[in-house]
């Protein structure tokens, strides 16, 4: 029997703003512009929004700050904070709130000025007192330790990781709004400055500004709006640790669980998926998540991503906007993978459009491979 | 024996851990139900949920589980190692390997703990074990 939440809500509007550089803007300015664009897209007004789902590294009480800025008095607010995966997690909470009538129009939103504010990762995070004495560089050292272990256990190579960055760049070159669109070769990645072995500069995501917003409504109303509705078929969340020291096995992420949960709710398998959007904060992420989500066996992710298999024209389209590596990455990237998946399913992606996309998988990552949230979205054809 | 040692060292697990380090001892809570050690020290066993714990000494022997070299300009102190060490008794901790170049630390290396005092705060670091 289908899960009660399967297909119970739909995305009817998306908006981006300030991606790249948004000089002079504060995080909430960018969030509000993205919200404006999403509302326009859906044919709605701010006064229609009665549910807010948001997260921030800038605001201790982001639900309060966001609603105040936008001048709305939401009936329902959720600020679940699982790092960059938060916005993917918000889709599940929004679906629950919409299904139970706690709100009628849910706004999932984010904005950040990380690049123009100086490039530093804004954080209200507490210090990890058992790690800090050894001066790890956050977050890269944690991902470097995972990459080193994956290389050790499975023979994954720096060349294979470089191919993740090259594939992302090739997608970005098809996306006029991507931030980094210059030519990029495997050698460029291998020869870039080493930061925390085995990860070099071009194994790391961009630092940009940017904001995104997604409008969700109950599916019964989904056809009252101008766009083709995109249905939320399933979301699964999982978390196994907070600090890298506590990750049970550095080669396996909690996406193993979040993926299974999302597929179970959606009643689909990986063979049904047409397009995949993964949180690629570092090149190793893409490899780990493809394995843990079942697109290839554990240990075979390196071979799977090599030689253009996830690039345009390859076997599986992954990170079609150019990813956090080449499109946009303003601190917490989760909302952007969601928006790219929705745009692919709507058929709005121009040169990078994957033909006949009916099912998209999104996997958000938060912390240091800590929180994993998988969402599966689809068109009416798979409802 | 451990309870005698810890009674006057403060009540919380972090204070107890630090107090042992200050005496150049590596102690961690061991669960009296599932017999597993855990790190970082808590008031509950994360393996089984028991609150029945006892502080016990560790051997200080371990193995490098993963390792990275953090690149830093020579004028700012040069490259340094950050690694994860799995202790013989099970728990894993972040640390660094002293005594060999950062680049030479390899996964699987056998290492031995020592406790250093850094501006009044004691930390566990490791160096390559002498015997195989
Ligand atoms: Zn126990």
pLDDT at A369 (0 to 100): 98
Question: Which residue in A235, A163, A214, A166 sits closest to A336, CA to CA?
Answer: A214
Give A364-376 pLDDT, tens digit per residue. Answer: 999 999 999 999 9
B10: left (phi over 0), alpha (psi -120 to 50) or beta: left
Tens digit of pLDDT for each residue in A166-195? 999 999 999 999 999 999 999 999 999 999
**Chain A nearest C-alpha distance from B67 (Å):** 6
State the Cα–Cα distance between residues A35 and A211, nearest whole angstrom.
Answer: 9
Instruction: Look at residue B1 and tell me if it is in a domain.
Output: no
User: Which residues are B111's β-sheet partners?
Assistant: B62, B128
A188 and A328 in a single domain? The answer is yes
Question: Same domain, yes or no, for B120 and B94?
Answer: yes
Residues B73 and B21 in one domain: no
* Cα A377 to averaged position of ligand 1 atoms, centre (Å): 40
pLDDT for A244-278, tens place per residue?
Answer: 999 999 999 999 999 999 999 999 999 999 999 99
Confidence band, pLDDT 50/70/90 cuts, at residue A213: very high
Distance from the Cα of A289 to chain B's closest Cα (Å) equals 19
pLDDT score of A296 = 98
The whole-number average pLDDT for the span A48-59 is 97
Interchain contact, B95 vs A195, CB within 8 Å: no
How far, in Å, from the CA of B19 to the mean position of ligand 1? 23
pLDDT at residue A1 tops 90: no
Domain count, chain A: 2
Least CB-CB distance to B82: which of A141, A198, A250?
A141
Same-domain check for residues A154 and A240: yes
Q: If DSSP codes are grouped into helix, strand and coil, which group holds residue A160? A: helix
Residue B99 CA to ligand 1 centre (angstroms): 35
- Give B103's contacts in chain A (Cβ within 8 Å): 197
- The chain-wide mean pLDDT, for chain B, equals 93
Would the CB atoms of A152 and B94 count as touching at under 8 Å? no
Q: With a cut of 70, say whether residue A240 has pLDDT above it.
A: yes
Number of domains in chain B: 2
For residue A118, the model assigns a pLDDT of 79
Query: Where residue A275 sits, what CATH number does that domain have?
Result: 3.40.47.10
pLDDT at A208 exceeding the cut of 70: yes
With DSSP H G I counted as helix, E B as strand and the rest as coil, what are the percentages for chain A, rounded to 5?
Answer: 40, 20, 40
Confidence of residue B8 (pLDDT cuts 50, 70, 90): low
Q: Which of B57, B77, B94 is the last residue of a domain?
A: B57
Contact B66 A250 (CB under 8 A): yes
Say whether both B65 and B124 belong to one domain.
Answer: yes
Look at residue A125 and tell me if it is in a domain.
Answer: no
* Burial track A5-33 (b if 16+ CB lie within 10 A, e otherwise): bbbbbbbbbbbbbbbbebeebebbbbbbb
Residues A342 and A219 in one domain: no
Query: B66 vs A137: CB contact, 8 Å cut-off?
Result: no
- Residue A123 pLDDT level (bands cut at 50, 70, 90): confident
Report how far residue A253's alpha carbon sits from residue A291's, in angstroms, rounded to the nearest whole number.
9
Please list every residue in chain A whose beta carbon sits closer than 8 Å to the beta carbon of residue B65.
149, 250
The answer as to whether B2 is a domain residue is no
pLDDT band at B131 (very low <50, low <70, confident <90, very high): low
Residue A248 forms contact with B (CB below 8 Å):
no
Which of A171, A224, A220 lies closest to A13 in space, CA to CA?
Answer: A224
Q: Give contacts of B118 with chain A, Cβ < 8 Å.
A: 133
pLDDT range class, residue A236, cuts 50, 70, 90: very high
3-state secondary structure B34-69: CCCECCCCCCCCCCCCCCCEEEEECCCEEEEEEEEE
Neighbours of A35 (CB within 10 A): 32
Q: Which of A360, A275, A281, A288 is nearest to A318 (CA)?
A: A275
Cα(A148)–Cα(A284) distance, rounded to whole angstroms? 10
Say if residue A219 is in the same domain as residue A192.
no
Tell whether A126 is covered by a domain: no
Q: Is the dihedral of CA A41, A372, A366, A303 positive or negative?
A: negative
**Residue B20 shares a structural domain with residue B74:** no
B81 and B22 in a common domain? no
Q: Which residues of B touch A135 (CB under 8 A)?
A: 70, 80, 82
For residue B4, is pLDDT > 70?
A: no
Residues A187 and A213 in one domain: no
Domain range spanning residue A177? 136-199+234-382
The pLDDT of residue A82 is above 50: yes
- Does residue A98 sit in the same domain as residue A158? no
Searching chain A, which residue's CA lies closest to the CA of residue B38? A246
Instruction: Using DSSP, state whether B5 is helix, strand or coil.
Output: helix
Interface test with A, best of B67, B84, B86, B121 (most A CBs within 10 A): B84
User: Do A64 and A163 fall within a single domain?
Assistant: no
Instruction: Specify whether A162 is located in the same domain as A280.
Output: yes
pLDDT digits (tens, 9 = 90+) for A319-338: 999 999 999 999 999 999 99
- pLDDT greater at residue B5 or residue B12: B12
Contact yes or no for B94 and A137 at CB 8 A? no
B17 and B32 share one domain: yes
Q: Chain B within 8 Å of A73 (Cβ-Cβ)?
A: no
User: Are residue A161 and residue A253 in the same domain, yes or no?
Assistant: yes
Instruction: Mark whether B51 and B69 lie in a shared domain.
Output: no
List, as ranges, residues 124-153 from A with C-beta within 8 Å of B: 129-131, 133-137, 141, 144-146, 148-149, 152
Phi-psi map region of B18: left, alpha, beta (phi>0 left; psi -120 to 50 alpha) = alpha
A357 touching B (Cβ < 8 Å): no
Assigned domain for A1 exists = no
B120 part of a folded domain: yes
For residue A252, tell me if it sits in a domain: yes
Q: Give the domain CATH number at B101.
A: 2.40.50
Determine the structural domain holding residue B110 and report its residue range. Answer: 61-128
The dihedrals phi and psi of A194, each to the nearest 5 degrees, come to -70, 135
Distance from CA of B65 to the nearest CA of A (A): 7
What's the gap in Å between B30 CA and the centre of ligand 1? 8
**Nearest CA distance, B131 vs chain A (angstrom):** 23
Model pLDDT, residue B2 = 45
Same structural domain for residues B50 and B68?
no
- The radius of gyration of chain A from alpha carbons, rounded to an integer in Å, stands at 19
Residues A160 and A293 grouped into a single domain? yes
Query: A68: which residues sit within 8 A by CB, 6+ positions away?
Result: none
Residue A326 and residue A264 share a domain: yes
Is some CB atom of chain B closer than 8 A to the CB atom of A242? no
CA distance A137 to chain B (A): 8
Do residues B42 and B92 both lie within one domain?
A: no
Same domain, A104 and A214: yes
**Contacting residues of B for A142, CB less than 8 Å apart:** none
Q: Residue B9: is its pLDDT beyond 60?
A: no
d(CA A231, CA A218): 9
| Residue numbers in A near B121 (CB within 8 A) | 133
Other Cβ atoms within 10 Å of A187 Cβ, number: 11
Strand duo A359-366 + A275-278: pairing: parallel
- Most A CBs within 10 Å, among B37, B94, B106, B123, to test the A interface: B94
| One domain for residues B16 and B49 | yes
What local confidence, expressed as pLDDT, does residue B6 receive? 47
Q: What whole-number distance in Å separates Cα of residue A317 and Cα of residue A308? A: 10
- Peptide bond just before A49 cis, omega within 30 deg: no
- A34 φ, ψ (degrees, to nearest 5): -65, -40
Q: Does A196 touch chain B (CB under 8 A)?
A: yes
Q: Which residue has the tokens 């390859």?
A: A314
Is the CA virtual torsion A185, A187, A192, A196 positive or negative?
A: positive
Nearest chain A residue (CA) to B103: A197
For residue B113, is it within any domain?
Answer: yes
**pLDDT band (50, 70, 90) for residue B10:** low
Q: What is the CA radius of gyration of chain B?
A: 16
């Amino acid at each position: 029997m289908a899960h009660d939440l399967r297909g119970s809500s739909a995305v009817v509007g998306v908006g981006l703003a300030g991606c790249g550089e948004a000089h002079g803007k504060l995080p909430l300015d960018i969030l509000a512009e993205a919200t404006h664009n999403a509302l326009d897209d859906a044919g709605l007004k701010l006064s229609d929004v009665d549910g807010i789902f948001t997260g921030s590294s800038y605001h201790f009480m982001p639900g309060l700050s966001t609603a105040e800025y936008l001048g709305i008095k939401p009936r329902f607010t959720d600020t679940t904070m699982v790092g960059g995966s938060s916005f993917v997690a918000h889709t599940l909470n929004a679906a629950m709130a919409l299904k139970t009538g706690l709100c009628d129009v849910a706004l999932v939103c984010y904005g950040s000025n990380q690049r123009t504010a100086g490039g530093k990762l804004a954080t209200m995070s507490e210090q990890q007192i058992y790690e800090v004495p050894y001066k790890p560089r956050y977050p890269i050292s944690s991902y470097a330790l995972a990459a080193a272990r994956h290389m050790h256990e499975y023979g994954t190579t720096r060349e294979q990781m470089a191919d993740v960055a090259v594939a992302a760049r090739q997608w970005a070159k098809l996306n006029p709004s991507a931030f980094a669109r210059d030519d990029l070769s495997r050698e460029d990645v291998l020869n870039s400055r080493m930061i925390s072995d085995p990860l070099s500069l071009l194994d790391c995501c961009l630092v940009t500004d940017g904001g995104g917003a997604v409008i969700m409504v109950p599916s019964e109303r989904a056809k009252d709006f101008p766009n083709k509705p995109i249905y939320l078929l399933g979301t699964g969340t999982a978390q196994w640790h907070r600090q890298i020291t506590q990750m049970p096995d550095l080669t396996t992420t909690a996406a193993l669980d979040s993926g299974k949960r999302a597929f179970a709710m959606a009643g689909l398998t990986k063979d049904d998926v047409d397009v995949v959007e993964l949180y690629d904060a570092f090149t190793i992420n893409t490899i780990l998540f493809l394995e843990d989500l079942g697109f290839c066996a554990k240990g075979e992710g390196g071979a799977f991503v090599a030689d253009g298999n996830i690039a345009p024209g390859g076997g599986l389209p992954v990170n079609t906007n150019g990813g956090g590596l080449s499109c946009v990455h303003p601190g917490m990237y989760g909302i952007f993978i969601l928006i790219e998946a929705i745009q692919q399913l709507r058929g709005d992606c121009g040169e990078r459009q994957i033909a006949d996309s009916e099912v998209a998988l999104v996997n958000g990552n938060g912390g240091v491979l800590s929180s994993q949230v998988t969402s599966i979205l689809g068109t009416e054809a798979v409802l | 024996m451990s309870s005698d040692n810890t009674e006057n060292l403060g009540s919380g697990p972090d204070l107890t851990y630090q107090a042992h380090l200050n005496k150049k001892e590596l102690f961690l809570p061991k669960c009296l139900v599932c017999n597993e050690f855990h790190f970082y020290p808590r008031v509950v066993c994360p393996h089984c949920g028991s609150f029945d714990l006892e502080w016990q000494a560790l051997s200080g022997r371990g193995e490098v589980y993963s390792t990275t070299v953090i690149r830093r300009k020579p004028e700012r102190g040069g490259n340094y190692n950050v690694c994860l060490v799995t202790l013989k008794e099970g728990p894993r901790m972040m640390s660094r390997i002293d005594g060999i170049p950062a680049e030479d630390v390899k996964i699987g290396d056998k290492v031995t703990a020592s406790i250093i005092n850094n501006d009044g705060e004691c930390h566990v670091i490791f160096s390559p074990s002498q015997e195989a």
